[in-house]
Amino acid sequence: MIKIYFDVCSLNRPFDDLTQDKIKIETEAIINIIQKVCQKIYLAYKSDAIDFELSKIQNSHKKDQVLNLYNCLNTKKIETTEQIKSRAKELLSYNIRYMDALHIAHCEYAGIDYMITTDKVLINQVNKSNILKVKVINPVIFVMEEM
């Protein structure tokens, strides 16, 4: 079974401005992936890093929507360990932002196949190197690859 991890920007995507074509297409892909999680085709994971970032969403209406989506997913929790923290610090040397490094470290620790993100900067950054044990991917590309 394919193991996936949604970062917070991908969880937010369905509640962004859907009048923009790119956002609408990414939202459709995320919904497709979520449906497959609900059908138990994919196995989704969560972490303390996601919980922390979700707690920081300023817009209370959007925060409620994202939390409802997140909480309805049947996800397994990756507990933060010293090994994860250490790997996240190591990833900082590759100019990966701290929270992104923490998400990646959680994914690697749990043997996640794909980290789903709509963060183009992160995708471009990690694709410059071959240092990760998880594929960081846009949801549209993931759906196209998995069809």
Tell me: the pLDDT tens digits for 96-123? Answer: 999 999 999 999 999 999 999 999 999 9
Short-list 12, 10, 31, CA closest to 115: 10
Alpha-carbon torsion (40, 123, 8, 27), positive or negative: negative
83 HSE (CA, 13 A, CB side): 7
Residue ranges of domains in the chain, CATH in brackets:
2-146 (3.40.50.1010)
Predicted pLDDT of residue 127: 81
Give 46-99 pLDDT, tens digit per residue.
999 999 999 999 999 999 999 988 888 878 899 999 999 999 999 999 889 999
- When pLDDT is cut at 50, 70 and 90, the band that residue 44 belongs to is very high
Predicted pLDDT of residue 130: 79
Q: Which amino acid is at 99?
A: M
pTM, two decimal places? 0.93
Q: What's the CA gap between 143 and 44, in Å, rounded?
A: 15
SS3 51: helix
Question: For residue 97, how many other CB atoms are within 10 A of its CB?
Answer: 14
Predicted pLDDT of residue 46: 93
Predicted pLDDT of residue 137: 96
Is the pLDDT at 129 greater than 90, yes or no? Answer: no
In sequence order, what are the beta bridge partners of 137?
116
Query: Which tokens belong to 47?
Result: 């972490």
Mean pLDDT over each residue of the chain, to the nearest integer: 93
- Nearest 5°: the CA angle 10, 14, 17 is 110
Is the pLDDT at 136 greater than 90, yes or no? Answer: yes
